[in-house]
Amino acid sequence: MIDNNAQMRLRKLPGVDRLLQMPETAVLLTTYGRTLTVEALRHTLEDTRTGLLQGQVTATSAALNASVPGPTRLVQAAADWLENLLTPSLRPVINATGVIVHTNLGRAPLSQAARQAIDAAARGYSNLEYDLAAGKRGSRHAHATQLLPRLTGAESSMVVNNNAAAVLLMLTALCHGRQVIISRGQLVEIGGGFRIPDVLAQSGATLVEVGTTNRTHLRDYARAINEQTAAILVTHHSNYKIVGFTNEPSLAELAELAHTRQLPLLFDQGSGALLDTSPFGLDPEPTVPGGIQAGCDLVAFSGDKLLGGPQAGILVGRADLIARCQQHPLARAVRADKLCLAGLSATLTHYVQEEALTAVPVWRMISMSVIEVTAVAQEWLAHLDAHGIAAELVDGESTVGGGSLPGTSLPTRLVSLATTNPDALAARLRAEAIPVIGRIQDGRYLLDPRTVLPEQVDDLWQSLVNCARTEN
């Protein structure tokens, strides 16, 4: 039963009609419309009733020590509810973690030219599937793909929505109902539980494992080939290393074997590296052009990892095999949209114009020297000191991320913020208007300048000042 005090408190609550007459509500009606505003007011009243009945302090009544909130407070609570409901869940953040291709933070940031191309394609109509010269229907496969053969040395190419789709399409179109040979050391799992054996099963191909986890020889592949074999598949184990007593045939050796037996060699390269990573102190990453040069018939890779573009899956290789993939019904289900194609075309143009190291953010970050990072870090330190925020520079390491180049890193200089509670500081920075994501290591809260975009530096400083004032 409801006690008399609770009943009295409930009677004091205004109804929705009364709240709709409040001057403050007029702003909500103009901003959000009547339907959403009424829903917000009803939700607020119900939340308040529940709290009063249970004797709890709710978000609505907290300021009034669980007494009956007045109309103004109720309307404000409804406004807060509406703002929370309609605030986009996908928001820009400042990546100060030092992980360049951070999957959780959206992988590769796009170049200015790529963003402009996407904006232009999004503003209105486009010739996505229209041949302007012929004046009739065209193909979306014509976009972005004209640059890929030039950059990779492949005969042809196509773009789908991500690399998992590219691998699935490749295997389904070329290997359905037949066998695919792969080394046991390459049965990889990447983020989100994506596993190569599962993709093979979904494609309708039969997996034939050869060799052992650490050692697979060319003869293992040769012995497994029979009349049911559709292809040899190589998967780059990009997110882990097998070291010690190991062996894997080279792509060139496998290509020679496959072609001798009239089979295609399929290569899931993954990262989309078009440039050599070794000049920057990183381990050499297999490149897409290197796969084509070695004799791979199809190479599948991502657009939003080391390529530095939007999310996409890309296939390059023999024209006849690309045509079979394009004509397969699955191709429509995994096709790329106009925004992806626009951003990817602009990104590839940077490579053609030999400006990727300066124009593509991922490669700009990779190619930053320790001297350059230190200069930025010292500028940050001076700014923080001017605002009375204690910090110091410490040595550290940046990583490429995105399942690429495991176990290798780039030397960097980190800004360590003085704080007695790094977890609390991290939470406050994540709650800023533009959330700041750093890292906590050895009891320190650290920021890596390498991965902070130049256009976000002012926002970063403002967030640091705000949070430092809160802590003090």
Mean pLDDT of the chain: 91
What residues pair up with 159 in beta bridges, in sequence order? 314
**Architecture of the domain defined by 112-359:** 3-Layer(aba) Sandwich (3.40)
| Domain span(s) for CATH 3.90.1150.180 in the chain | 94-101+364-471
Quick check: 301 pLDDT over 70? yes
Q: What is the pLDDT averaged over residues 269-290?
A: 94
Is 70 exceeded by the pLDDT of residue 190?
no
Tokens (6 digits) for 94: 């400042």
Q: State mean pLDDT over 149-176.
A: 96
pLDDT at residue 48 tops 70: yes
Q: How far apart are CA 365 and CA 301, in angstroms?
A: 21
- Give the number of residues written for the chain: 472
Taking a C-beta distance cutoff of 8 angstroms, is the pair 124, 309 a contact?
A: no
Q: How far apart are CA 83 and CA 78, in angstroms?
A: 9
Report the 10 Å Cβ neighbour count for 214.
Answer: 14
Is the model's pLDDT at 146 over the cut of 50? yes
Q: What class has domain 94-101+364-471?
A: alpha beta
Question: Which pLDDT band, with edges at 50, 70 and 90, does 195 fall under?
Answer: confident
The DSSP secondary-structure symbol of 454 reads G
CATH 3.40.640.10 segments of the chain: 112-359
Q: Is the pLDDT of residue 472 over 60?
A: no
Which pLDDT score, from 0 to 100, does residue 61 have?
Answer: 44
Cα–Cα distance measured from residue 465 to residue 461, given in angstroms and rounded to the nearest whole number: 6
Strand, helix or coil at 251? helix
| Dihedral over alpha carbons 14, 15, 17, 22 (to 10 degrees) | 30
| Confidence band of 64 (pLDDT split at 50, 70, 90) | very low
